[in-house]
Amino acid sequence: MIDSSETTPDRIGHYRIVRLLGRGGMGVVYEAIDEVLHRAVALKTILPSSDPHMRDRLMREARAAAAVSHPNICQLYEIGEHEGDPSLAMELLDGQSLADRLEKGPIPPAEAVSIEIAVLSALQALHNRAIVHRDLKPSNVFLSAHGVKLLDFGLARPVSLTVDDTALTMPGLLLGTPRYMAPEQARGADVDARTDLFAAGSLLFEMLSGRPAFQGASPIEALHAVLHEHPPALVGPLAVVDADRAIQRAMMKAPAERYQSAEDMLRDLRTCLSRGDLSGGVVARATTRLIVLPFRILRPEPSIDYLAFSLPDAITVSLAGLESLVVRSSLAAARFTADQLDLRTVASEAAVDAIVTGTLLEAGGLVRVSVQLVEVPSGTVLWSHAFQTPMRDMFQIQETVCTAVVEALALPLSSREQRMLRRDVPSSSEAYGHYLRANRLIDSSAQWMQARDAYQQAVEADPSYAPAWARFGRCLRVMSKYSTGPEGLEWRVQAEDAFQRAFRINPDLSVAHNLYTYLEVESGRASEAVTRLLGRIRGRTSDPELYAGLVHACRYVGLLDASVAAFQRARRLDPSMRTSIAHSFYMLGEFERAIEHDGDDPPYLTAIALFATGRGDEAASVCRKAQGRQHANSHLVLVLDAVTALVEQRPDQGREALARLLSFPAFSDPEGLFYWAHTFAAIGDLDRAIELLDRAVDLGFHCANGFVVSPSFDVLRTDGRFKTLLARAREHQARALEAFTDAGGHDLLGLERAAR
């Protein structure tokens, strides 16, 4: 029996001990000489266990591992015994563990991906023999002069357990390393090959970023992170983004959503390695995830109430253009408005690493503003400052806070980003006040006219303030779309002009590019929007709203796989990001997923999808509940009336509601026309259904698959007019695919060349 507290023995069996290599919780490893075969080995002796089944379990698992021969697996030469305890003679390696290498910092992407490929090759060999490693971590990967070696099969076991195998698992004992466990392993559930792939994804993340995917001061905190949190996205060249996609898929919480085999993950990483942009001084960076919470008003004061949301929103807009920072949207931040916030809860629910909080107090004509930047979940205050300023100088707070965030988080800024931060601050306090007030007013359709006037005042006071022009453009677009009078056409022209003014002032303004997408697609220029957004993403891979725009634009031109891929990247960067992906799932015929992702109010898509799956009663119930939440004069009431008529088979009411909607002179959203055609088809007015679908295609909705999968159009399948317009949609879609390919869309979104 060998005790870890004893001195190094001279011999163990026919092995002459040279030196102690290391001690661990389960054994001691020596360098030794096999005096029978005259070769150097690593000799591991297993320490005694209080559990009488431990040695039997380890012996059985060691034999299973010994059955696998692979160049990336440390070879097991012999299983023996010494004084009644097991001993393992293994290949002696010269080099360092991956854990030791990571102490020096992140690994260059080309090297990291190569190491990961070797690890996956070893796992594939194990999995082919139905063996799961269960303890993949940096200390169990060895970087030797002869390549990468996978070590330590102390927890490996066959996937299929017999009754006897199960009896050897100790109840209540968590086997594995918490930080690298898959969720099912952490819960004590069944494990399989996908469990190892989760750990492999965690390993690659750590190699590229230099930090663990899941952090925690204790094993319990690490396990909580594994179960409930998501590691940040990685940014860098396209190959780094490709690697990040592989990491994301490998580390999905549900095993069914991960890679199903090591070979699948290997295939993607080999493609990633084949790119030409991983050489030289390329680095990968883990994005810092930030949320700017609504500021708290310490004493109610109508004159400053709007600042509680508007000032944080302005800070969010300024910071959103930085490549190494992902800023949660103001919409996501608005959920956290309680007086007493649990920052750990915010960190978990919003999936962020840092939080900006603040308070506001009006006193004697001055505004006292206290702002903090807090690292979470630790709660460490990285920066704090108190201001006392007149309203006219409020814009200086935005500039100071943004600069402090960049410095406190040590964000690497390009010269372009440094210029951008300075450029997006107004030169006029009057303009800033109008801008902040307008941003609050725009949230309510009843106040759109007031918001328009406030934006107008902002750009008149400071014509060089690009964010105000961008938000002004968005306000005019929304008003134009839902205008019931001829002024809507003029507002659309003004919206285009406002966006172009923003671009001329700051061609890199992220918020302008994001908001402009919707005007483009509603003006029949969805393909141009796709090309523009792809160009932006090539230089800025970490902006979730650019991907959200692609979700929308790609669907209009029928590139549904691209739309879904853009959604996945947007959610990787910001799990709270709202997109129109529900409509893309509908166009794919995945009606249940459309219902799951529908976040609109009213949820008219949910009603249509329920109707499509034969659940008319549920659809009617959804419509009736939503109708009570809408403003009496809102166009949304008409939309609900039309959908309700569809699901309840009331043709007269459906025609009346649609007639009013179609009377809006400036309404030009072709996807809306596509949906409204459902009602006409369902009530038997086939000519009007064809008319609306024809207009939808003319105005730029070319999602051919949507025409094919919608059950409401089954009555039109044999109609020659329907076949003709479907052929036209497919022609436009084919041209859009060519433009998408020319713009590098497949590479940017990680798609195969045959996109739908």
Which alpha helices (H) appear in 424-464, and where do they start and end?
Answer: 429-441, 448-461
Domain 288-425 -> CATH class:
alpha beta
Taking CA atoms, 678 is separated from 337, 524, 615, 634, in Å, by 40, 21, 16, 21
Q: Which residue has the higher pLDDT, 526 or 271?
A: 526
pLDDT at 127 over 60: yes
Note the pLDDT of residue 154. Answer: 57
Tell me phi and psi for residue 588, to 5 degrees: -85, -5
* CATH 3.30.200.20 residue spans of the chain: 1-92
pLDDT at 446 over 70: yes
d(CA 282, CA 208): 11
pLDDT single digits (tens) 642-673: 778 777 778 888 788 888 888 877 778 899 89
pLDDT at 454 over 90: yes
Can you spell out the DSSP letters for 200-268?
Answer: HHHHHHHHHHSS-SS--SSHHHHHHHHHH--PPPEESSHHHHHHHHHHHHHT-SSGGGS-SSHHHHHHH
Note the pLDDT of residue 474. Answer: 95
pLDDT at 62 over 80: no
As separate numbers, helices (DSSP H) first and strands (DSSP E) second, the chain gives 33, 19
For residue 178 the two structure tokens come to 């918490």
Taking CA atoms, 536 is separated from 496, 512, 531, in Å, by 19, 12, 9
| Angle value at C-alpha 537, between 535 and 542, nearest 5 degrees | 165
Q: Is 462 a catalytic residue?
A: no
* CATH 1.10.510.10 residue spans of the chain: 98-286
Confidence of residue 162 (pLDDT cuts 50, 70, 90): very low
Averaged pLDDT for residues 610-625: 87
Note the pLDDT of residue 1. Answer: 43
Averaged pLDDT for residues 241-269: 95
Closest CA to 668 of 646, 635, 698: 698
Q: Which amino acid is at 66?
A: A
CB contact at 8 A, 421 and 318: yes
Contacts of 71 (CB under 8 A, 6+ apart): 147
- Which range among 76-85, 473-482, 622-631, 694-703 has the greatest average pLDDT? 694-703
Contacts of 593 (CB under 8 A, 6+ apart): 582, 585
| Angle value at C-alpha 247, between 246 and 251, nearest 5 degrees | 120
CB contact at 8 A, 753 and 746: yes
Domain topology for 98-286: Transferase(Phosphotransferase); domain 1 (1.10.510)
Averaged pLDDT for residues 65-79: 85
pLDDT at 36 over 70: yes
DSSP, collapsed to helix, strand or coil, labels residue 15 as strand
CB atoms within 10 A of CB 720: 7
Closest CA to 356 of 341, 324, 466: 341
Confidence of residue 369 (pLDDT cuts 50, 70, 90): very high
pLDDT single digits (tens) 590-611: 999 999 999 887 788 998 899 8
Q: Which CATH number fits domain 1-92: 3.30.470.10, 3.30.1370.60, 3.30.70.420, 3.30.200.20?
A: 3.30.200.20
Q: Which residue has the higher pLDDT, 613 or 339?
A: 613
Note the pLDDT of residue 58. Answer: 62
pLDDT single digits (tens) 314-337: 899 888 878 889 999 888 898 887
d(CA 565, CA 571): 10
Indicate the range of 62-71, 548-557, 723-732 predicted with least confidence: 62-71
Domain topology for 508-756: 1.25.40
pLDDT at 199 over 50: yes
CB contact at 8 A, 563 and 702: no
Averaged pLDDT for residues 376-396: 87
pTM given for the model:
0.85
DSSP, collapsed to helix, strand or coil, labels residue 370 as strand
* CATH 3.40.50.10070 residue spans of the chain: 288-425
- Select which of 135, 244, 424, 747 is catalytic: 135
